[in-house]
Amino acid sequence: MTDSTALDGFLEKWRTRWPEWRVVEVFVPLSQRQLAVAWFALLQEFTDAMNIAGDPLPADAKLAWWGEELRDWSRQRSRHPLGRVLEPNRAPWFELAEALPALIRLRERPLEPAAAFELTRPLATAVAHVESALFGSARTGQPLVQAISAQWLATRLDGAGDAAIPVHFGNHADSSQRGWSQQLLEQWPARNGGAVPRRLWSALARSRLQRFTAAGEGYAPLSPVRALWLGWRAARRR
């Protein structure tokens, strides 16, 4: 398999999971489109390692490998196909590598909602700073970090179900998966100030969470018209 074929495989895997992206990416500057998909495909590799089922040791080893790979990117060396697109861009790759262990801790059931968000904060902050470098957005403030944290926790809920619900969420009016999804939506800023690619992906992910019923049930793709409307609103709203 050539590097080009391997790269295409990673990009297509992410596009398959987010079919609406083919509609909304029209709002992304042409020069950033492949970069955005490569970056989101990298984040998907991390969330897959977080939501591993069964023996966690292979996923832990994968995250350790990614940590070394990202540190090499900070020295302008890469081995992974995604590095062909991402590594030439100067970004805080080392800081992202340092934040990856949070993914292992996220497999544990959080004690309370605030603790869940606090656990994701270092990782969400590192992601926000990388996106600022990649896409030229100067904003990396609290709304953006909060939105990234909420999206990460939504991904955890979708992958882990009840194991993602905080232990002390039982006194909430609705302590089910659906109840936790509603709490995440309440904590997810609709305006996050991120770059266009982040605003678009955040809008698609937020739409999925609004349609969430239970982990593992999947989602019907948005209609092209609905996706286009959602993308247009996200692209123009900071």
Query: Collapsing DSSP states into helix, strand and coil, what is residue 162?
Result: helix
Please, are residues 66 and 10 in contact by the beta-carbon 8 Å criterion? Answer: no
Per-residue pLDDT tens digits of the chain, which is 238 residues long: 556 788 999 999 999 999 999 999 999 999 999 999 999 999 999 999 999 888 899 999 999 999 999 999 999 999 999 999 999 999 999 999 999 999 999 999 999 999 999 999 999 999 999 999 999 876 668 999 999 999 999 999 999 999 999 998 865 556 789 999 999 999 999 888 899 999 999 999 999 999 998 898 888 889 999 999 999 999 987 6
Rounded to whole angstroms, the Cα distance separating 204 from 3 reads 30
The two three-digit tokens of residue 238, written as one number? 């900071």
Domain ranges of the chain: 3-236
198: nearest Cα among 25, 70, 80, 50? 25
Cα–Cα separations (whole angstroms), residue 144 to 132, 150, 162, 189: 11, 10, 26, 8
Q: Give ∠ CA 25-41-237 in degrees, rounded to 5.
A: 40
In CATH, which superfamily holds the domain spanning 3-236?
A: Farnesyl Diphosphate Synthase (1.10.600.10)
- Within 10 Å of residue 47's Cβ, how many Cβ atoms? 16
Tally Cβ neighbours within 10 Å of residue 218. 6
Segments in 101-210 forming alpha helices (H): 102-105, 113-135, 142-160, 177-186, 196-210
Pair 150, 157: CB distance under 8 Å: no
| Length of the chain as a residue count | 238
